[in-house]
Amino acid sequence: MRKFKKALAVVSAAVMTMAMSVTAFADQTVTYHFYNAKGWDNVGAWVKQSIDWSEDCMPTDKCILKDTTDGTEPHEPIWPGAIMEAEGGNWYKITVTYTAPEKGSMMIFNNYVGDSTPGDTTSEADIQKLKDAGVVLNDVATKEQTQNIMIKKNGITANAYWIKWDGDSKGAQIVLGKSDMITDVEPAEYTNRNAGSSTDSNAGSSTDNNAGSSTDNNAGTTTGTTNNNAGTTTGTTNNNAGTTTNNAGTKAPTTGDSAAVSVVLLGLASAVAVVAAKKKVNA
């Protein structure tokens, strides 16, 4: 019995160790929603796994990647990083995958303007790749960006974060838990981001188009018909005025009366026909 308990304890410890290892190395997908307070034409995201900017985690299909002729890592993005997707109401999003979320993250959001001259991390070949992709460079437009934004070690616990930047590209670093500009709780401004635009566009089109066409077109037609019929009715009344006066004592039923009498007679005739038919069948 003692040996069995000892073996069970060893197996349990091994299972717990394996579970902890799987948890430690599990990938985590996170979507960042960024408020474009300055109204940039395009928005870029420069997101790194770990707080020392050492590991890339941006989606490569959203980035221009470095030239590899110098032997560098083929999947390393070139600034301005990943282009973000518009969501409406000045909100933009990007989804990244962390292979070690416990290391935390550093990020910068920018106006998606690249470098036009070689630097420490940008070569002539990289700049040419940016030009070929149609990315605006800083010899045409000015580079703008947020300050550094940090999620500290063991701080990536949600699958979505919202960055409500105030538009000031200077100042202290923005840190999750210490600044109200980054949160893992969806703000009302994001939830209602499309409410104003949909209401305005629908109200304007339905009110203006339908009201104008129905009122103007139908009103004109009705007026014309009224005038034509009025003239005809007046002529008829004048021509038959004498006849009506002479036959006042023996005036025939009006059209409405004739219709009523005809209906009664037809009803009686139908009833007689039904009775006759039933008698014929019974015979």
Please report the pLDDT score of residue 164 as a whole number.
96
Return the residue matching tokens 């870029």. 44
Of 48, 49, 146, 31, nearest to 87 by C-alpha is 31
Most confidently predicted of 49-53, 68-72, 225-229, 279-283: 49-53
Is residue 209 in some structural domain? no
* Contact partners, residue 153, CB within 8 Å, separation at least 6: 51, 102, 103, 104
Residues in the chain: 283
Is residue 8 in some structural domain? no
Of 171, 109, 107, nearest to 143 by C-alpha is 109
Whether 112 has a pLDDT exceeding 70, the answer reads yes
Please report the pLDDT score of residue 68 as a whole number.
76
Is residue 197 in some structural domain? no
Is residue 188 in some structural domain? yes
Q: Are 49 and 55 in contact (CB under 8 A)?
A: yes
Please report the pLDDT score of residue 169 as a whole number.
79
Is residue 245 in some structural domain? no
Q: List residues bridging with 34 in a β-sheet.
A: 92, 163
Please report the pLDDT score of residue 213 as a whole number.
43
Is residue 88 in some structural domain? yes
Cα–Cα distance for residue pair 42/94, rounded to 1 Å:
13
Cα–Cα distance for residue pair 256/47, rounded to 1 Å:
86
Q: Total domain count for the chain? A: 1
Please report the pLDDT score of residue 14 as a whole number.
53
139-148 average pLDDT score: 96
Of 39, 215, 201, nearest to 112 by C-alpha is 39
Q: pLDDT digit string (tens) for 64-77?
A: 998 777 776 667 89
Q: pLDDT digit string (tens) for 165-185?
A: 999 878 899 999 999 999 999
Cα–Cα distance for residue pair 109/165, rounded to 1 Å:
10
Q: Are 80 and 92 in contact (CB under 8 A)?
A: no
Angle at 23 between CA 22 and CA 25, to 5 degrees: 70
Please report the pLDDT score of residue 122 as a whole number.
85
Q: Give residue 185's domain range.
A: 30-192
Whether 129 has a pLDDT exceeding 50, the answer reads yes
Q: pLDDT digit string (tens) for 19-51?
A: 444 444 589 999 999 999 999 999 999 999 999
Whether 271 has a pLDDT exceeding 50, the answer reads no
How would you class 255 by CB atoms within 10 Å of its CB: exposed for 0-12, middle for 13-18, buried for 19 or more? exposed
Whether 113 has a pLDDT exceeding 50, the answer reads yes
What tokens were used for 131? 């030009």
Q: Are 9 and 43 in contact (CB under 8 A)?
A: no
Runs of H (alpha helix) within the chain: 2-24, 124-132, 188-191, 195-239, 241-246, 255-282
Is residue 138 in some structural domain? yes
Is residue 157 in some structural domain? yes
148-172 average pLDDT score: 94
